Structure 1
């Protein structure tokens, strides 16, 4: 069951007789004690078979709920593109050149403004309460969109939708960081973030199915999309209040021994920390934001979101331009296949990250296919060529989400810093989403050279900045090898050592 955190510790005692953990000279996994020595080396060794069994159990008990919630989070965000094809602009009398772009932009304004406060609230309330609450609230907002009659009303509802959805991706990422090791995290993040491209596919199919109905209650046409999907989202959020477990310590489906292992193995990677779920502190929060690799990764995520969010909102419009004579339902169905390919790559690259315990190299490798796709858009007006290009766009740009969130999560040490680093990444990322809403303007269609050129520049910049970040991490790690850990930590209290965060002399960047 979910549980408010307050000041409860997420660390459990470790007993010497525990068969799943073999101890070195001194157990460091007990409550209130560091699980690493001052050089960052774990004080506990773990039984690999027991870890594997526990990890699989966590996978089955934790991932499905958050994945389903995120699926409808993204559907409720991106269904505006499907509604546009079904007559939203006509019924709301959106005759201005920029009306649709304004409707998209308002979502990101509230999303960006609410991001950091959402990170603080998630840490304070605990993700087991915070994530279901957000789901109910953005479900209500989506439902309300089905009853708007003017553009200002639609903008008001989308503003609320952005504020409530802002905490979902960083909140779920933060939640999973309490359960998984550094090497495991990117792939587990991909297991819920894959719902973004699948939402493009499933959302298109669901919208097509809904539009075959004559009416739902008193609403018709595009309004039915928001009403049906909003009701489903609210129901899922209410169920999640019951099914989500806030952290290993409160998991009823774990034995006492499994709880100890779950806590100790995560704690063993946190240099100088005595708790997995620490009390929120301002200094740690600041260092979660003011972190060179977090800020560099957030900038990369901003550039990536120009492409990802642009694809989500404008793929239906692009398809309509390529196949102008097709029916509305057929156009919806044409948006599905590129997202299926995107879903495959969203799992592939983070899966390789799990095997190699590397993330930065895969951020670098995500750019070339996206660059190729936009070059095809700019070089050809042939419908088949441009539709083929959408597969290249979806293939690797969607994998950056789990990779970037995993990267900012592992470049900090404490739970408090992680809540802020993830919120920072999403704040930057959705600034890219705001830019994307102005990437494709009506008068730039049907070929959209400005939008495609901007996205090509963004993908190229990702290649450059992610490479430079990797080089800097390796350079700074070499400098850190020359630091005298004993001398720098001499005279510091345990609390002062914990507050050092990534400035701890034994810390190394994790490329």
Structure 2
């Protein structure tokens, strides 16, 4: 373990951040830590946020293209639109965990920009499809490249930030999901005012122009991203040491490297972690709602305001997404402030539940449009909290990569369900889709309460375990492979 030089000092408790490690107390200069955090925030967060913004735009712009004539031009009928959405999620789910393991193996500084260029090109290619089958094929390939983005960025940020700092930093990039809904609507509206672009018209311009912007962002990211603190050219030697020491100080027990080698046992520890599994189901149910809003909010708005023009309907999708963006920053900020996530898992589903009750209880247009604000406020921040909760409830870097990948993979199963939640025969009020989403909100609430109670009970049980007896006779490698099964480990709530 590297010891921070000059910037890492044993100072008075009133002036320092105190960390318990291996039953000792380590302290860091709070001003040096603050300077380091600001520097990381400045160099890392804007790039990954911009990447994820266009990742989500390139995924969800098919909803905007639908309003601009996609279905008519490709002769779609019946469930064709839902099928094209579903094909994306098949590859997205299958490649989720392998992609995050590849991110660790190849290094996120190269892997994430490479994915960005690839899915940007997929968006450009979508502008040239002429059949439903070709659209589905391009969407399948898009799912392969986008699969690693959300878990990859979460894993990448966990290489830079303390556990208590992580949730809010995740929100700074995941807020791009609702902002993509808002910005995507504005961008699509602006693009549709053009007569043509390179011979392309209407919805084809949306895919082409947004894809070109995405490719440009990916090329810039090759220059701005760096794998880890030790390779950052913009950090001094002292800052690199401090960055590494901060992460080492949060190891549950001695012997763990900040960046360990790939290990099958630790991969399995990340996947089959009880908290990972519970959090994965929360993510699954959340994504039924979040992805449903991304794909079908333009359609829902059209049923509420059928008299408005296409551009006006596009603009009506912006305000709910702005509220979702606000919530995505506010809730994780409070989570980081109090270092609690499960408490907010319990609170925010009530907004989702209330919103869908309104949808089911009334056909009044303004009331239903208002309900979309409640749903966006309650659903969007949960994705941030689930990623953060998975990241902080494992020990090793390898287990963290597989844990985050598992949570996001399950979320994408929820996204697959979302593509079939609002079906043509169910319109214009969609009672089946709204009832399904009411049930997912209630399920999130129940799972969260159960996870909180179980983790508290298991921590109490671990307090009674004889650590020396459990570890007696185990080699250093075997002790390291215990990960969350190590008797010193405690679940973070």
- The answer to whether TM tops 0.5 is yes
CA contact (8 A) 2:256 2:396 kept: no
- Displacement of 1:19: 3.7
Per the alignment, residue 167 of structure 2 pairs with: 186
2:39 matches 1:57: yes
- Displacement of 1:20: 2.5
Which of 48, 52, 55 matches 1:73?
Answer: 55
Count of matched residue positions in the alignment of Structure 1 and Structure 2: 485
CA distance in 1, matches of 2:349, 2:449: 11
2:213 matches 1:232: yes
Q: Could you say what secondary structure the match of 2:10 adopts?
A: strand
Per the alignment, residue 287 of structure 1 pairs with: 269
- Displacement of 1:490: 2.5
- Displacement of 1:306: 0.3
CA contact (8 A) 2:11 2:29 kept: no
CA distance in 2, matches of 1:74, 1:94: 24
Ranges in structure 2 where 5+ consecutive residues have no aligned partner = 13-19
Q: Please, what is the CA RMSD of the aligned residues?
A: 1.3
CA distance in 2, matches of 1:255, 1:502: 33
1:69-468 equivalent positions in 2, closer than 5 A: 69-95=51-77, 97-272=78-253, 273-468=255-450
CA contact (8 A) 1:174 1:422 kept: yes
CA distance in 1, matches of 2:482, 2:69: 55
Per the alignment, residue 32 of structure 1 pairs with: none
Ranges in structure 1 where 5+ consecutive residues have no aligned partner = 1-10, 25-34
- Displacement of 1:234: 0.5
CA distance in 2, matches of 1:359, 1:414: 20
TM norm structure 2: 0.97
CA distance in 1, matches of 2:133, 2:265: 41
- Displacement of 1:235: 0.8
CA distance in 1, matches of 2:310, 2:95: 35
CA distance in 2, matches of 1:150, 1:325: 30
**What's the CA shift string for 1:458-488, capped at 9, x where partnerless?**
0001001111101000010000000111222
TM norm structure 1: 0.93
- Displacement of 1:36: 3.5
Q: Could you say what secondary structure the match of 1:44 adopts?
A: strand
Q: Could you say what secondary structure the match of 1:500 adopts?
A: helix
CA distance in 2, matches of 1:78, 1:140: 15
- Displacement of 1:275: 1.0
Q: Could you say what secondary structure the match of 1:204 adopts?
A: helix
CA distance in 1, matches of 2:337, 2:472: 37
CA contact (8 A) 1:43 1:268 kept: no
CA contact (8 A) 1:21 1:261 kept: no
- Bigger CA drift: 393-402 or 267-276? 267-276
- Displacement of 1:266: 1.1
CA distance in 2, matches of 1:170, 1:252: 25
**What's the CA shift string for 1:408-435, capped at 9, x where partnerless?**
0001011000010010001100000000
Q: Could you say what secondary structure the match of 1:399 adopts?
A: helix
2:6 matches 1:18: yes
CA contact (8 A) 1:304 1:429 kept: yes
CA contact (8 A) 1:23 1:44 kept: no
- Displacement of 1:120: 1.2
